Structure 1
Amino acid sequence: MDAMKKFLLGAGLGYILGAKAGRGRYEQLVRTYRRVVDHPMVQGAAGVARAKISEKVRRR
């Protein structure tokens, strides 16, 4: 029950802070996220991570 209260408190705070920041800040965060995710180095690292995870899963 305690974990649920913490989750709800965090969700509520996130909602309030997000509402105060406004749509412009949200759009800025989304643009930054997409720029990072689409970066070739991030894509390469994700590919390596996927391969390692896949290798570990196959071993079991």
Structure 2
Amino acid sequence: MRALSYEQARDELVRVVNELEQGSATLEQSLALWERGEALAKRCEEWLLGAKARLDAARAAAAE
């Protein structure tokens, strides 16, 4: 999971959500998809927080 780029995690999350919205998966499959979606959402959030930290650091350095 950590090897996924932001774009890869986002695209897979979209696929997982679409699959869940179709409603054709079994309960067990739906639970597995939900868990995968949660992990992917967390990975996307990690990427975004990291990007924000880098931007904040760059702005702080530029202000000095």
**Range into which the TM-score falls when normalised by the shorter chain:** 0.3 to 0.5
TM-score normalised by structure 2 residue count: 0.38
TM-score normalised by structure 1 residue count: 0.41
Structure with bigger gyration radius: 1
Higher helix share: 1
